[in-house]
Amino acid sequence: MACEAKGSILKTEKCQESNTSQDADKFNLMRFHDERGQNIVEFAITLLILIFLTVGLIEIARFSYSISVVRAAAQAGARAGLVDETNVVPTVEEQMVGLDTSNTTIVITYPASNRIQVQVTYPFQFVLPLLPPFFGGDTIDITSTASISG
Q: Is residue 31 part of a domain?
A: no
72: domain CATH number is: 3.30.1300
How many domains does one find in the chain?
1
Sign of CA dihedral 122, 123, 126, 130: positive
Entry pTM = 0.70
Is 10 within a domain? Answer: no
pLDDT at 8: 54
Per-residue pLDDT of the chain (150 residues; tens, 9 = 90+): 455 555 555 555 555 555 566 666 665 655 555 667 888 999 999 999 999 899 889 988 999 999 999 999 999 999 999 888 899 999 999 999 999 999 999 999 998 888 999 999 999 988 877 766 776 777 889 999 999 987
Domain enclosing residue 58, as ranges: 41-149
Hey, is 60 helix, strand or coil? helix
User: Is 58 among the domain residues?
Assistant: yes
What H or E segment, with its residue span, contains residue 125?
strand 115-125
**Is residue 74 in some structural domain?**
yes
pLDDT for 37 equals: 81
